Structure 1
Amino acid sequence: MPVPVIAVFDIGKTNKKLLLLNEQYHIVFEQQTSMQETTDDTGDPCEDLPLLVNNMRQQLAAVLAMKEFEIKAVNISAYGASLVYIDENGAPAGPLYNYLKPYPEALLTRFYNSFGGREQFSHQTASPALGSLNAGLQLYRVKHQQPSLYSRTRYVLHLPQFLSYLFSCAPFSEMTSIGCHTGLWDFTRQQYHPWVSLEGWLDKLPPITPTDHTTPVQLNDKAIRVGIGIHDSSAALLPYLLQFREPFVLLSTGTWCISMNPFNHEPLTSEELQQDCLCYLRYDGRPVKSSRLFAGHAHDTAVQQIAAFFREDPRHFKELPYDPQVTGQLVSSPEFSILEMSRYENSSAAYHHLVMMLVKQQYHATRLVLGQTTIGRLFVDGGFARNNIYMHLLARVFPDMEVYAATVSQASATGAALVIHNSWNAGPVPGHLVQLKRYAATF
């Protein structure tokens, strides 16, 4: 008998994965793809959307043809702050602009002057002023600087919802995507900010639909439920919310390292906004105070440079053991710098110093979301959870908290499967989705 499974596409900036999970949430199949970026219509780097679309369609067709699995549902976990403009035929009308694309300063000034000023707007939308990372401002730029693309656009879809649309052909908007520092949502009134209506966009934004909604479709003559997609950081939080009742902070690590406190409901302060704090929205619409650090990207860039300087394989650093003697010697050194490799005795010292700097930055970023809440546990998932040096150093800077490397097999994908559990899974949600390994502070 074929095994009942859900297929989840977990689409990150760097890695794209297709996973099949059985009813016990065990991964029974995994395929990972890395894709080269292309450039948009002004020469800036961007996701190769046609390549991504073709790859996903081919991958799903291949697993649908496997005799050993019965695919009951499909859902998407994907990065946010990215919009796809689709035309009347449902095809992309333009590039998938990168959220790091430079934003025209004059247009930014015009925007904030039109809608209450930068500080007031940021407070209302729980979105620090981040240029293109505020996805709503991407749409504003398209309307005011690319009228041809704007006029061809029937719907504007957040990336997770567009990737769902590939299989469901049903356009939706969804809370976790709207709530990831887009500047679209008024957190005080719990509805779209008035500027969305003033710009005349409500007919281009599909109806907001619950994150657990699924659409019945026929794929390869098989009846399948297709979820509407979920923002990857919000998806990664879901297994923890289901398993743990005592207050915790989740540090989800990847390209961005995001500290999420689902138990801090204090309004964002001006100071927090200036330090890149924001509120996400949970799948149930409740806010999650969060801070962001571009630490995974900084780590990977520096590792390549350390490896090149010392003529070593970059993979060597993944297995490097934690050496407190090395960190002890580096405590009084100047900050790590990729421009000063010659001052390190070997690559291990350079790498330890890099991680020390990242953990110091992470300490300040995570402290910002603690607020007045009493938090006893810090869970770390993603790439840094598997990094012994990082985890030991993190436990050192948070001696009053229990620091755990948390293992959820593919947390974002698992969250995407969990959020539509009732649409595909006949069994109960397992009670031990998250496995923990505690790190004690060692000096």
Structure 2
Amino acid sequence: MVGKNIAVFDIGKTNKKFTVFDEELNVAYTTSTKIEEKKTNGIICDDVDAINSWVLSVLDSALSRFNIGSIVFTTFGATVVLLDAEDKLAFPVVSYNQEIEPEVRQKFFEEYGSPEELYVRTGTPPLGQLLNVGLQLYWIKNEFPEVYEKTKTILFLPEYFSFILSGGKATEITSVGCHTYLYDIVDKDWSIVAKGLDVPEKSPPFYNVWDCIGKYKGVKVAAGIHDSNASLVPFLLAEKKEFVLASTGTWCVFMYPSAEYSPAKEDVYRDILYYIDVYGRPIKSARFKCGYEFEYYINITRKRFNVDPLKIPFDEKLAVKIIKEQTAYVVPTLTPGTGQFPCSKGRIVKEKEFFRDPATAYHVLNLSLAAQTYFALSLLTRGKKGLRILVQGGFAKNPHYLRYLATLMPYNTIVYYKYTEATSLGAALVGKAALEDKSLKDLDVELPQLESIEVKRLSIDDKYVEEYLESFKELCEKNSI
């Protein structure tokens, strides 16, 4: 009997989640764990051994309870696994949070072209740390040449976990196209960086994300998919009008599928980039570390007042007052080189007012993050009005953020979803396509989970909103690193 259920692994940087979906794409079972990064010989690494152990444990348990027909992995991007001739790790799996010497970055651009030149071809801006996989491979090749020499296979993280289960090796476009410098969008082929680093020779053939590349205990294993692209899949199938998907978590990623590929040089240093979707199309996007900054300031507030800020209710009068009086600001960025204000120094402006009480601190924080979102979306869409902004993920549960965002963007419609697990749902759709041997486009599905709820804006004169946004922007540009 062919299994009808779909098993999805959603591997985040810290949180790892496993979900079993039934044939109607309802959640039948879910569990999660936390596995942190580790250091190996001074290098920050993803603990793939611990992840593999957890994967096998929860999967084998689920196979004994559910009639599973396909398995899909979706993971964070910017991460590759190097395998030797015996398919063992040739090197620890380096985290994109690893820092490298500035000289390495400089030599990379001297060899392969300026950031502006590469941006025009690959849609990839120069990101901090090792968030560009091409730069990571260049660093490994030059710092550890013997490792790169013995590397016979390069797999992106989703495909590595799929390989561990199935023995099948695959390359797929959503991971290759995740700000790596490895894919030339103009030529629709491997880039000059990829060719210079022998990536095509070390990579398996390309597969669709939904293609079955092998089996685990008789169950189909799909190639795999990058998590931001997985979160986009349900909306590509369900939305009929022009939209921007705000996929919110540690990173807030804003994806605008209707935009043309037109990389502007002024966007190179403002975290405007192009992902590649499951059909091979460039998706104009903007990002900043919204969830990371949220958690950082939440922890400060929690320690200062000894309360849980997440339990503070939304106060409409206070919310309006903070905008009108410009009470305080939380200015980006805690991660230099990222976001729309990459040179801005992350800080609290008017600390005394910010720490007046926990409610003020929490409202100011969410207003400031909504303001960052406003500037990200404005750059992404070039100020276009009449769009639907679809908020998914953690911030879809945050009324403070949502109400402020709707207030800052009165000419667009802000909606959120009670169902916040679009990444897992998107991966489940990939699993359904694998199960039925179909393309995603050919699936006959209804997605009642995606019932949207429109967010109401605050009752406040537009003049105050415009003045707040202008002062926020000035603060970001004034005290740069």
- TM (normalized to structure 1)? 0.93
CA–CA distance in 2 between the matches of 1:270 and 1:40?
Answer: 38
CA–CA distance in 1 between the matches of 2:350 and 2:457?
Answer: 29
Residue 320 (1) aligns with residue 312 (2): yes
Distance change >3 Å, CA 57–CA 124, structure 1 → 2 = same
CA contact (8 A) 1:39 1:46 kept: yes
CA contact (8 A) 2:84 2:153 kept: yes
Cα offset for 1:37? 2.2
CA–CA distance in 2 between the matches of 1:167 and 1:258?
Answer: 30
Distance change >3 Å, CA 161–CA 139, structure 1 → 2 = same
Residue 82 (1) aligns with residue 82 (2): no
**Partner of residue 341, structure 2:** none
**Partner of residue 8, structure 1:** 8
CA–CA distance in 2 between the matches of 1:217 and 1:423?
Answer: 11
Which sections of structure 2, spanning at least 5 residues, go unmatched?
331-346, 438-442, 460-481
Cα offset for 1:338? 5.3
CA contact (8 A) 1:264 1:371 kept: no
**Partner of residue 383, structure 1:** 394
CA contact (8 A) 2:140 2:148 kept: yes
CA contact (8 A) 2:83 2:151 kept: yes
Cα offset for 1:357? 0.9
Residue 116 (1) aligns with residue 108 (2): no
**Partner of residue 465, structure 2:** none
CA contact (8 A) 1:264 1:373 kept: no
Cα offset for 1:391? 0.6
Write the mapping of 1:41-440 to structure 2, written as runs, cut at 5 A.
41=41, 43-66=42-65, 69-131=66-128, 132-219=130-217, 223-312=218-307, 316-331=308-323, 332-336=326-330, 337=347, 342-343=352-353, 344-371=355-382, 375-408=386-419, 410-424=421-435, 428-440=444-456
Larger mean Cα displacement after TM superposition, 317-326 or 151-160:
317-326
CA contact (8 A) 2:10 2:73 kept: yes
CA–CA distance in 2 between the matches of 1:362 and 1:157?
Answer: 33
CA–CA distance in 1 between the matches of 2:269 and 2:404?
Answer: 26
**Partner of residue 30, structure 2:** 30
CA–CA distance in 1 between the matches of 2:2 and 2:278?
Answer: 31
SS in 2 for 1:378: strand
CA–CA distance in 2 between the matches of 1:70 and 1:361?
Answer: 45
SS in 2 for 1:182: coil
Larger mean Cα displacement after TM superposition, 265-274 or 385-394:
265-274
- TM (normalized to structure 2)? 0.86
Percent sequence identity over matched residues?
Answer: 30
1:249-306 per-residue CA deviation (whole Å, 9 max, x = no partner) reads 0000001001100000141101122211000001000011000110101101111111
CA contact (8 A) 1:93 1:153 kept: yes
Equivalent AA in structure 1 for residue 327 of structure 2:
S
**Aligned length, in residue pairs:** 434
SS in 2 for 1:139: helix
CA–CA distance in 2 between the matches of 1:196 and 1:376?
Answer: 36
CA–CA distance in 2 between the matches of 1:429 and 1:233?
Answer: 21
Distance change >3 Å, CA 203–CA 184, structure 1 → 2 = same
SS in 2 for 1:209: coil
Equivalent AA in structure 2 for residue 85 of structure 1:
L
CA–CA distance in 1 between the matches of 2:56 and 2:349?
Answer: 44
CA–CA distance in 1 between the matches of 2:100 and 2:444?
Answer: 47
Equivalent AA in structure 2 for residue 370 of structure 1:
T
CA–CA distance in 2 between the matches of 1:262 and 1:414?
Answer: 19
Larger mean Cα displacement after TM superposition, 360-369 or 266-275:
266-275
CA–CA distance in 2 between the matches of 1:192 and 1:357?
Answer: 39
CA–CA distance in 2 between the matches of 1:61 and 1:416?
Answer: 19
CA contact (8 A) 1:248 1:375 kept: no
1:17-54 per-residue CA deviation (whole Å, 9 max, x = no partner) reads 0000001110110011012321132x243322211111
CA–CA distance in 2 between the matches of 1:198 and 1:341?
Answer: 50
Cα offset for 1:372? 7.6
CA contact (8 A) 1:167 1:226 kept: yes
Cα offset for 1:218? 4.3
SS in 1 for 2:73: strand
Distance change >3 Å, CA 218–CA 365, structure 1 → 2 = closer
CA–CA distance in 2 between the matches of 1:441 and 1:372?
Answer: 18
CA contact (8 A) 2:165 2:216 kept: no
CA–CA distance in 1 between the matches of 2:32 and 2:16?
Answer: 6
CA contact (8 A) 2:71 2:219 kept: yes
Which sections of structure 1, spanning at least 5 residues, go unmatched?
none
CA–CA distance in 2 between the matches of 1:136 and 1:71?
Answer: 36
